[in-house]
Structure 1
Amino acid sequence: MKKSVIFNLPVKNLEKSKTFFTALGFTFNQQFSNQEASYMHVVEGGIDVMLTTEPFFRSLINKPVVQAKEANEVVICLMCDSREEVDSLIAKALAGGARIPHPPEDHGFMYDQGFEDLDGHLWNLVWVAPQA
């Protein structure tokens, strides 16, 4: 069995979300995309996201959709190759309309900062020194 993680995120405007994440360098697989959902590659061969319109997401579950700008259930954490990559992605996210919830945290051996995407989903970008 091939091991991978695919998580679904409800979004208010699929096209705006695709534009936002494309600017961060993520790519989309059109074969698994339509007007209601778009399959986004985050980490090659391991982690992917299905951005879904809220009505489509609602059809997959039998409870209300959490409004991520009001409450969060999860923080999506991505490991980066360098501090510069963290800063670069944060700058791109900010330019695309993201909210930055806190300043970068520098622990010497670890550096991280997060952003809130257009729909309020929290993403944390982390670099850990190889010697750590």
Structure 2
Amino acid sequence: MPKLIFVNLPVADLPRARAFYEAMGARNEPMFTDETAACMVLSETIHVMLLTHGKFRQFTSKRIPDAKETCQVLLCLSAASAAEVDAIVARAAAAGGRADPGPKQDHGCMYGRSVEDPDGHVWEVMWMDLAAVKAAMGKA
């Protein structure tokens, strides 16, 4: 069995957050979803657990920071093409996110943008031509 990652994020408005992640291409897993949490499946191995603040506090005694004011983590999701990067960011922005809180990155063989979810968590979305990157690194 491959290793799975579960990214746990505190959210202020669960339905709004769920709609945002669905717009990014995630599907909801009802088995792990209720009025306090939603399991959003980004891929076979990547799951985002959206947790109300009350639910999130069950797992930590630390203060929940305001992700609109502070940044503890930047999350990055791969895309199949530069066009898919743009499409994901556009859908996410239309669903209540903020497109491009950081600068766009275009290095020819790598292209990336970012989107901030309604709670302030930043997701980078990037495409990479792995063959071109490997070739360029081999020349270095």
Shorter-chain TM band: over 0.9
Alignment partner, residue 89 of structure 2: 90
CA contact (8 A) 2:77 2:126 kept: yes
Q: TM-score, normalised by structure 1?
A: 0.93
Q: How many correspondences in the alignment? A: 131
Does 2:43 align with 1:43?
A: yes
Alignment partner, residue 59 of structure 2: 60
> What is the rounded CA distance, in whole Å, between the counterparts of 1:90 and 1:15 in structure 2?
19
Q: CA deviation at 1:10?
A: 0.4
Q: CA deviation at 1:96?
A: 1.3
Aligned partner of residue 70 in structure 1, secondary structure: coil
The gaps in structure 1 that reach 5 residues or longer are: none
> What is the rounded CA distance, in whole Å, between the counterparts of 1:25 and 1:81 in structure 2?
13
Runs of 4+ in structure 1 over 6 Å off: none
Does 2:116 align with 1:116?
A: yes
Q: CA deviation at 1:102?
A: 3.0
Q: CA deviation at 1:109?
A: 1.1
Question: Deviations 1:9-39 (Å, cap 9, x if unpaired)?
Answer: 0000001111111122210111111110011
> What is the rounded CA distance, in whole Å, between the counterparts of 1:73 and 1:63 in structure 2?
13
Q: CA deviation at 1:3?
A: 1.2
Alignment partner, residue 136 of structure 2: none
The alignment yields a C-alpha RMSD, in angstroms, of 1.2
Q: TM-score, normalised by structure 2?
A: 0.88
Q: Which amino acid aligns with 1:57?
A: F
Q: CA deviation at 1:103?
A: 4.0
Q: CA deviation at 1:130?
A: 3.2
Structure exhibiting the larger radius of gyration computed from Cα positions: 2
Q: CA deviation at 1:105?
A: 1.2
CA contact (8 A) 2:11 2:53 kept: yes
Alignment partner, residue 102 of structure 1: 102
Q: CA deviation at 1:127?
A: 0.5
Q: Which amino acid aligns with 1:130?
A: L
The gaps in structure 2 that reach 5 residues or longer are: 134-140
CA 130–63 in structure 1, closer or farther in 2 if over 3 Å, else same: closer
Alignment partner, residue 74 of structure 1: 73
